[in-house]
Structure 1
Amino acid sequence: MKIAALQMVSGLDVQRNLAQARLLIQQAAALGAELVALPEYFCAMGRRDTDKLAVRESFGQGPIQDFLAQAARELQLWVLGGTVPLAADDDGHALNSSLLFSPQGECAARYDKIHLFHFENGKERYEEAATVQAGSRPVVCDVRARSGEVWRLGLSVCYDLRFPELYRALSAQGADVLLVPSAFTHTTGQAHWETLLRARAVENLAYVLAPGQGGVHENGRRTWGHSMLVDPWGEVQALQACGPGIALGELSHERLRQLRQQLPALTHRVL
């Protein structure tokens, strides 16, 4: 099963971002991808953190969700809408939600980001909890390839990557592929992004697909990019370093089984 991480440099205008996302989805579909994943905040990277509140949607309805459903249905593939801002419990917050749409255009899974980013180094400051309401539960979902093969996905978002216990919980529920749509800052991404992705793959003997934002945005923020597919041995199969583009690779049940048989670490867990 071919899958693709779609890298973007999203701007302020939702419609322009959706147009770029559609082009990348079409390109990936033409290359044979059956599952594509967009990055965190693919629909908008606002000038201020509060800008996301203006484009919040109720779960199950809204133009961003309609776009994802239509793209999945028309192109007959699985589409992960990196994250979409959904209505939260109060007017001052949004849920940062990753939505998976089936080739029938139906929302097959929803994951609300659990861990909220906070970083301050004297030059940069981010406090996601000021405008985002945290989720509370891990989510897995089965997808069927055109060949009939079934893959179990474990959903996560960006800052979640630093919390291995979440991925252990996904692994314990049988996840074969870990999805990590992200908007890592250039500072933290340069330092830790690839190391963390490869570690999550190795320790869980799972594929990791990580689409990111990658470039300088209209709001002045610089994101790290380096969207990639990592195999269960920690090897990078595909990489899109900077700017909009596609990291395309292929999943193999045979390789997954072989590696898990050769190194049955998942069956040796004690704690």
Structure 2
Amino acid sequence: MHISLLQCQSGQDVSANLQFIQSQLEQLNRENVDPAALSPHLVVLPECSLLFDGHERAQISYAGDCHHSPLQAALSGLAAQHRVYLVAGTIPRLADDGRLHSRCYLFDDKGVTLGHYDKLHLFDVNVADATQQYRESDTFCPGDHISVIDTPFGKIGLSICYDLRFPDLFRALRLAGAEIIAVPAAFTKVTGEVHWQVLLQARAIESQCVIVAAAQWGAHNQGSRETWGQSMVVGPWGNIIAQRPTGTGWLHADVDVAEVHRIRRNMPLAQHNRFAPPQLMCR
């Protein structure tokens, strides 16, 4: 299976961010002379790919509800236009309590929504960078379910950025059948430099899944935020299959899901684990 991760440097201008993603997908089409003749292609976007703002509350004006979401429609349209399966980063969706969910959609190559996931773990931390305090819970509320979705590539589990620090989520996704886990992210430069790669490799080893992590990179919005980058594809043995340390653009990799099952047969961690499984439900 062929996977392409897009590393972005998104900002406050939704139209400019959308144009960048469109131009990159057009580049994919130029490289694939006859896309219709190819096997299905999975594309993964990073967190906040259409809107990356220094103030989380700016997300509210772009949030859609269950009846209408222009950002969701735009991403669905891109998946259909370019005939790719799309893990569409994150967009804001209105929640029942007046805050937002940070939601990741997975679209098929006709733009049909196969499933979605609302970020479970909110980034309320202090970081030694220019922002210093991050309080996602001021604007966002956490989701209440996990998501594993059937695709031609295998069963794909969804997670988002800060979720990477919580191994129980990845165990829950594995137990729900995940073979591949997507991690759209916008890790800060300070935390990413020391933790990003080791966490991705640890989660891959523990879950025995392929981890596909598309990241934001660089200085955003006149330097008010800085992200680490290093989009990566990590194999179920913890091996780095491909990575893009810096810059914007594509990271491509070919992945064999059969390797996931070979490793699980040889080292059956799921059967050996004596601790109770996580309780959140899959939908």
After superposition, the Cα gap between the structure-2 partners of 1:205 and 1:181, relative to the gap in structure 1 and judged at 3 Å, is: same
Whether the 8 Å contact between 1:72 and 1:79 is mirrored in structure 2 is: yes
Q: Does 1:154 align with 2:157?
A: yes
Shift of 1:193: 0.4
Q: Which residue of 1 aligns with 2:63?
A: 56
Q: What is the correspondence of 1:222-237 to structure 2 with a 5 Å cutoff?
A: 222-237=226-241
Partner of 1:148: none
Gap regions ≥5 residues in structure 2: 33-37, 276-283
Alignment of 1:84-233 (within 5 A): 84-91=91-98, 93-121=99-127, 123=129, 124-145=132-153, 151-218=154-221, 220-233=224-237
Match of 1:82 among 82, 89, 100: 89
Corresponding residue of 1:47:
54
Counterpart-to-counterpart distance in 1, 2:172 and 2:125 = 25
**TM-score w.r.t. structure 1 length?**
0.93
**Unpaired runs of 5+ in structure 1?**
146-150
How far the C-alpha of 1:122 sits from its partner, in A, is: 5.7
Which amino acid is the alignment partner of residue 106 of structure 2? Answer: L
Q: Give me the TM-score of the superposition, normalised by structure 2.
A: 0.89
Is 1:25 the counterpart of 2:25? The answer is yes
In the alignment, is the contact (CA less than 8 A) between 1:25 and 1:36 conserved in 2? Answer: no
- Letter aligned with residue 100 of structure 2: A
- Matched AA of 1:79: L
Q: Higher mean Cα deviation, 212-221 or 182-191?
A: 212-221
What is aligned with 2:278?
Answer: none
Bigger mean CA offset, 248-257 vs 27-36: 27-36
The answer on whether the counterparts of 2:181 and 2:210 sit within 8 Å (CA) in structure 1 is yes
* Alpha-carbon RMSD: 1.6
In structure 2, give the amino acid aligned to 1:263.
M
Task: Give a deviation string over 1:181-228, Cα, whole Å, max 9, x none.
Answer: 000000111110000000000011110000010110015200001011
Deviation at 1:60, TM superposition (A): 5.4
Alpha-carbon separation, structure 2, partners of 1:24 and 1:231 = 25
- Contact kept, 8 Å, 2:128 with 2:190, in 1: the verdict is no
